[in-house]
Amino acid sequence: MTAARAEKRADAFNTLSNSAAIVPEQTLNEIIPGLHPQGGLFGIVRHFSVPANLAVPVGTPTDPAAWHVEGAAVNAINLRGCKERDIMLSCTRVKKMQGTIEKMVEAIQNTSTEERFIEAHKSQTTDFTRNRNLGFDEIMHFVIGNLGTSLDFEVMNFCNKRTQTVSAAAISKARDKVKYTAFEELLKANAKCVPVANDYKGYRLTAYDGIKGELPRTKELMRLSNTPYEMGYPQFHAIAEYDVLNCCYTDAIFELGTTNERKAAVKLLERHNYEGKEIFLLDRGFPGLALIQQLEKSGKSYVMRVSKSFLKEVNAFGKSYSKDEVVQVNYDKKRGAASNICGVELPSSFSLRCVKIELNEQETEILVTNLNKTTFSRKEIGELYNLRWKVETGFLNLKYAVCIEDFMGIKLNSIKQEFFASLIKSNIYMQFVEAANDIIFNKKNREARI
């Protein structure tokens, strides 16, 4: 505080761009030593190149400020007309958020110490049978708690919370004893703690979408992903299942290289176990006969955007003047063979409701659904599909807030551990974001969203 108070301010600072102010040199020198043991912020700051010994002038603040002696009287803050009802709503939402996060953290702690869980997900039967310096649950906590920095930095931060220190090599060896499937199961258990507080006419909205990213450039990953050396970095391709209204990842599939999104979606649907009413929202890369059959078999509703080369019955609807029509699709073995259809039970016959949504004067998209006209209007079908966009913003959060591509490990098992751990962390983070959104949304400007 002494260094900050002693620093001079530059009154010539541009008052039109106060938001661009930078922390002054002496103040920054006080902050940096405190960041090293904390990790979180410094892990993000390290991505930027900041020159040393940089003196930065700071403009006089727009709002008047004054130093106060500790314990001295201070004028009360003006709440700018906040109503009692707004404050009560904020407190209620924060309490709900706190309760949900406590359940999520408790699920992580309890599940990672269950004997059944440990036996199912340790690499060998002899692993974790004796009292070791690092237990199974500690490895789970280490991976979930990583800040996206280097292994050495993560180990230093981890050891600050323990009575005994461990080396980076010891942690890496212990991680090899834990299968990535432990984090995959933990994701599902964690997601169940998030209540379906938001729905659409009583339906939970679930979307599938794919995300691609880069992996560490190691010989093992280059070989496993069939990436030629001259191609640069190996890639991963994951398909995630996402509750779009409650901002929660419920399941995912992670593959090296490029995966077939339609097959991955069918696989996710086969192990899907949500028993409530649900509508699946899918982009045009997913619709296929196998997926529609699985959705119908599971008794699930869906809204899909389809391409112009989907099914001849849907294509005929697209050329017609009708905007909302039910078509009958008949697939016999002969048609299946001509279309090179695999993994589908034939013959197959089902009805599809086709809906046209005008995006502008020149462009129209076609949606197919099994929702009936009496319950969902054409406008509501369009609204439902628009809500699918939240899975796209969820992936942006994964890339730029959770930093899902900043892998600490270099082995495939470790990378998969971190991928599913990132989804768990995202679910927890989004509880804070959604609580803030609800508080903002209930105020006068109802369009404001984080």
Give the tens place of pLDDT for each residue, 29-67: 666 666 555 544 444 444 444 444 545 454 554 555 566
Q: What percent of the chain has pLDDT over 90?
A: 38
Structure tokens at 110: 């309890």
pLDDT of residue 171 exceeding 70: yes
Find the length of the chain.
450
pLDDT in the model for residue 342:
63
Query: Which residues on adjacent β-strands are paired with residue 278?
Result: 204
Query: How does the average pLDDT of the chain come out, rounded?
Result: 80
pLDDT of residue 124 exceeding 60: yes
| pTM for the full predicted model | 0.76
pLDDT in the model for residue 204:
95
Lowest pLDDT segment from 83-97, 206-220, 222-236, 303-317: 83-97
Query: Which residues on adjacent β-strands are paired with residue 368?
Result: 304, 354
CA pair distance 299, 355, nearest whole angstrom:
21
pLDDT of residue 18 exceeding 50: no
pLDDT in the model for residue 66:
63
Give the tens place of pLDDT for each residue, 203-222: 999 999 999 989 988 989 99
Confidence band for 154, pLDDT divided at 50, 70 and 90:
confident
CA pair distance 189, 185, nearest whole angstrom:
6
Q: Cα-flanking dihedrals φ and ψ of residue 108, to 5°?
A: -65, -45
CB proximity list for 425: less than 8 A, separation 6 or greater: 144, 402
CA pair distance 11, 59, nearest whole angstrom:
5
Confidence band for 26, pLDDT divided at 50, 70 and 90:
low
User: What distances in angstroms separate CA 386 from CA 52, 269, 381, 409, one per listed residue?
Assistant: 48, 22, 9, 37
pLDDT in the model for residue 416:
95
pLDDT of residue 86 exceeding 50: yes
Instruction: Over range 13-30, report the average pLDDT.
Output: 54
Number of Cβ within 10 Å of residue 235's Cβ equals 17
